[in-house]
């Protein structure tokens, strides 16, 4: 964020009222570091060299950076914009378009006013520079109260049309919301029932034996996936149930068919079978599972996509796959569903999405709407190869979010999740934190590029009202 305007237009006062000191890079303050004081103009070159270094290092780390300078030099602005582009950071100019008389009045009231001739030069150049800002920055705004929104939400404005219908699933990837093991069952049941009442169409758990590093610590509680799904089946009535996703290396494929069929029978036909090639090598080592090369794991995945429907279907046909064979695909009782949906997790364009197009009923993708749009086009190409229609394969998208009821609630939730040494805006970016209105635009963009079901991990699930706060988002897409 670059502040732009003549001296006396109120840039520094506004910045001090809206941001923490550590977020502001002030060229005046840097003059005081490399010169005799903030108004030592002879230190200007060194001060800007230092400002450029600080801006580059902050943007490299993804930190919110507010540059407080005149902002009237197009060459200097170009340097900052180039650094922002290098590190993929959005750019905003705050234009302080204040009448010249007011700028002169404020300047005279300063303890060290800018020389009148210098201020006149700034005021003369300002109209031309103001016009240039619109062509240089992603957005140009007037000074006002600031609310920091994650980049992924700021990119997608709330829709001005009726949202396209889309389902929502909730994945529970962490179980630290409970006060010890004895509290875990009741808390999990309450969360599942609340999610069903809020309008979620599906519930998912990860298929891991220890917590993964992307979510928490290895010693955090982690439930066995299919036991947890069976428990969830007993405390819910409507939502479908699945793993996000089953590691193909963890179970004999025929045995997996029996497990999923049992879940389907006992849940009244609500099982979904998520499958993936597995990736967590540490987990394999800890539990004594072999971790074959990726090519072999893909062979196992393809065998599963072929064998599972045979196990669940009529008769007892033999099967000879790359990694498993059986003289008779036998599984009684049969699932309640005539066909249990199979979902493949992963976005690989050459292998994973090809397997989805050839065998599966759904894919699970990561990324924002522009990325998803590309992945869907790749999936469509694979579907054409196998003469399948797009309507036969559901597109799901997985992401972490935090949804708050209001701006004050948002600040409180982000603060509750922020470690002592991490700024709240960094945590907000990591968990995609916003209000209902912030999230609707992004989910509308996902629906527009072909997402049929958005599966969310609520980052604040350990806090009260996490599910009820998200319910209004679901309601927007139930049309």
Report pLDDT digits (tens) over 318-375. Answer: 999 999 999 999 999 999 999 999 999 999 999 999 999 999 999 999 999 999 999 9
When computed from its CA atoms, the radius of gyration of the chain, rounded to whole angstroms, is 28
**Residue 159 pLDDT greater than 70, yes or no:** no
State the pLDDT at residue 19. 95
What is the pLDDT confidence band of residue 39, given thresholds at 50, 70 and 90? confident
**Residue 111 pLDDT greater than 90, yes or no:** no
**Residue 156 pLDDT greater than 80, yes or no:** yes
Report all structural domains of the chain as residue ranges with CATH numbers, in order of start. 2-146 (3.40.50.300), 167-476 (3.20.20.30)
Backbone angles phi, psi at 11, to 5 degrees: -60, -50
What is the pLDDT confidence band of residue 383, given thresholds at 50, 70 and 90? very high
∠ CA 212-176-276, nearest 5°, is 30
| Digit-coded pLDDT (tens) for 126-146 | 999 999 999 999 999 999 999
Task: Note the pTM of the prediction, 2 decimals.
Answer: 0.87
For residues 38 and 118, which has the higher predicted lDDT (pLDDT)?
118
Would you say how long the chain is, in residues? Answer: 479
State the pLDDT at residue 164. 87
Cβ contact 450:393 at 8 Å: no
State the pLDDT at residue 381. 97
**Residue 40 pLDDT greater than 90, yes or no:** no
Cβ contact 65:23 at 8 Å: yes
State the pLDDT at residue 163. 78
State the pLDDT at residue 423. 87
State the pLDDT at residue 102. 96
What is the secondary structure of 336-382 as a DSSP string? SSSS--EEEE---TTTHHHHHHHH-SEEEE-S-HHHHHHHHHHHHHH
**Residue 298 pLDDT greater than 80, yes or no:** yes
What is the pLDDT confidence band of residue 246, given thresholds at 50, 70 and 90? very high
| Mean pLDDT, the chain, integer | 94
């Amino acid at each position: 964020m670059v502040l732009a305007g003549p001296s006396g237009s109120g840039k520094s006062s506004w910045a001090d009222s809206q941001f923490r000191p550590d977020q502001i890079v002030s060229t005046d303050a840097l003059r005081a570091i490399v010169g005799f004081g903030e108004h030592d103009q002879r230190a200007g070159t060194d001060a800007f060299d230092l400002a450029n270094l600080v801006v580059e290092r902050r943007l490299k780390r993804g930190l919110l950076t507010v540059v407080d300078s005149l902002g009237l030099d197009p060459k200097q602005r170009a340097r900052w914009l180039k650094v922002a582009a290098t590190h993929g950071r959005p750019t905003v100019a705050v234009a302080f378009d204040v009448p010249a008389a007011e700028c002169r009045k404020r300047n005279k009231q300063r303890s060290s006013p800018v020389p009148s001739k210098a201020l006149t030069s700034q005021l003369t150049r300002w109209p031309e520079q103001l016009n240039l800002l619109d062509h240089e920055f992603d957005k140009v705004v007037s000074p006002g109260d600031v609310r920091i929104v994650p980049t992924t939400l700021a990119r997608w404005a709330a829709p001005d049309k009726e949202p396209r219908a889309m389902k929502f699933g909730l994945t529970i990837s962490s179980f630290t919301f409970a006060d010890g093991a004895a509290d875990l069952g009741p808390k999990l049941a309450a969360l599942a029932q609340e999610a069903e009442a809020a309008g979620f169409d599906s519930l998912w758990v990860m298929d891991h034996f220890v917590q993964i590093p992307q979510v928490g610590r290895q010693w955090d509680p982690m439930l066995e996936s299919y036991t947890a799904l069976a428990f969830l089946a007993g405390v819910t009535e409507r939502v479908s149930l699945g793993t996000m996703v089953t590691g193909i290396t963890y179970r004999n494929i025929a045995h997996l068919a029996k497990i999923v069929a049992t879940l389907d029978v006992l849940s009244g036909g609500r099982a979904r079978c998520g499958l993936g090639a597995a990736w967590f090598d540490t987990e394999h080592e800890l539990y004594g599972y072999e971790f074959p090369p990726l090519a072999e794991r893909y062979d196992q995945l393809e065998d599963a996509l072929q064998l599972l429907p045979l196990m669940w279907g009529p008769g007892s046909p033999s099967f000879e796959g790359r990694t498993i064979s059986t003289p008779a695909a036998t599984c009684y009782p049969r699932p309640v569903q005539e066909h249990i949906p199979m979902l493949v997790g992963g976005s690989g364009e050459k292998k994973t999405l090809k397997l989805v197009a050839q065998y599966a009923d759904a894919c699970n993708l990561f990324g924002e709407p522009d990325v998803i749009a590309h992945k869907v086009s790749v999936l469509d190409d694979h579907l054409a190869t196998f003469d399948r229609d797009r309507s036969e394969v559901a597109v799901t998208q997985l992401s972490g979010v935090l949804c708050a009821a209001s701006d004050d609630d948002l600040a409180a939730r982000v603060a509750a999740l922020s470690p002592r040494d991490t700024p709240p805006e960094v945590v907000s970016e990591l968990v995609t934190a916003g209000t209902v209105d912030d999230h609707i635009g992004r989910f509308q963009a996902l629906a527009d590029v072909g997402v049929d079901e958005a599966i969310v991990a609520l980052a604040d699930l350990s806090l009260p009202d996490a599910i009820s706060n998200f319910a209004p988002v679901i309601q927007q897409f139930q049309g």
